[in-house]
Amino acid sequence: MTEYNTEWENNSSFHELLNTCSPSCREYESATIFKTWLSTAHCQTSTDILGNVTGCINPQSEYKILLTAHMDEVGLQITHINSNGLIFFRRVGGIEPMSLCGHEVTILNKRGPVNGIIGRNAQNYNFTEQGLSFKMSDLWIDIGADTKEEATEKVWIGDFVSFKPNSQKIGKSRICAKGLDNKTGLFIVAQTIKKLSKEQLSIGIYVAATVQEEIRLRGIAPCVYNIKPTIGFVVDVGFATDVPGSSQYDEPTFCLGKGVGLIHNADNNPILVDCLKQVAESKKIPIQETVGHTLSGGTDAMILQLTADGVATANISIPCRYMHSHTEMCDWEDIEYAIELLTQTILKIDKESNKYLFK
């Protein structure tokens, strides 16, 4: 098995991606970096009308494998600015109000980023038996403006908001940052096609960085219609169960640092999952078998599987703690494992494509 490098802080490419702000509907920063990565892999690239970025190797091949990861992250959107210059917002994706208060944010617009802090009325305790309780409407963004006029010189209704970039290393190999869902998957896809570009392949390899996954999986379908893949691999984070209250069992079932998650549910083709498992066992790549968070849905795999004539689909799941918060946590070793597993699986399918026609 490959000797894995846990010194992730030396990887400038991943650092650059983690410092981008790409809330759903405003994924431009991550898209620019992804296109640069694809150019180093000598891929033909294109961007569709929604903003999905795709690239390919061997476009002449009729047998096509699609590697996809969404590049958007949860965020906010400005809906109102009051007379005191305080900014109100709605959520973009699944964010809980409790995860927002007191955190730094970056407001994105054509005039440049604006920093702010999410506040609430600290005199309104509103304690319940479950603890402090408040709604999204109880929160606002403070950019230090005294009036609406002062605030609107910098921001306006409709601007999108991201958590402020904050990446750091904790412990041996843990990565903490906003937007690991799903900059982690985006990095894995890019690194995999970079490795595959050095191989002599007979099949077509397509990659897609999709938009708007966090708002009901909206971006993936046009990619599938355009590419018409035989097989699709969706790389995304999954809920780690190695923290208190996350597992219904005595022991956690999906842990950081213990390998890639292979999911047994309706969105995952059992033949593909078995192929991934065989490769992992032969190459001694750690994996974790799981049933996922739900029987179906939660990632682009659900839409990919059902689009056009249907696609044989499998998730590559990376354990993630504190998902959809201002600081998520993954393990660098799991990222390395995923790159190796995807690369070796595609090399296997390239040699044995007749076994994986799904006709």
Q: Does the annotation count 213 as an active-site position? A: yes
List of residues 6+ apart from 68 with CB closer than 8 A: 189, 207, 208, 209, 210, 220, 223, 232, 233, 234, 235, 300, 304
Residue in 73, 213, 328, 336 annotated catalytic: 213
Are 317 and 290 a contacting pair, CB within 8 Å?
Answer: yes
Residues paired with residue 289 on neighbouring β-strands, in sequence order: 262
Number of H helices, E strands in the chain: 8, 19
Is position 214 annotated in a ligand binding site?
yes
Are 137 and 88 a contacting pair, CB within 8 Å?
Answer: yes
Residue 14 in tokens: 């991943």
**Numbered residues of the known binding site for Zn(2+):** 70, 181, 214, 236, 324
Residues belonging to the active site: 213
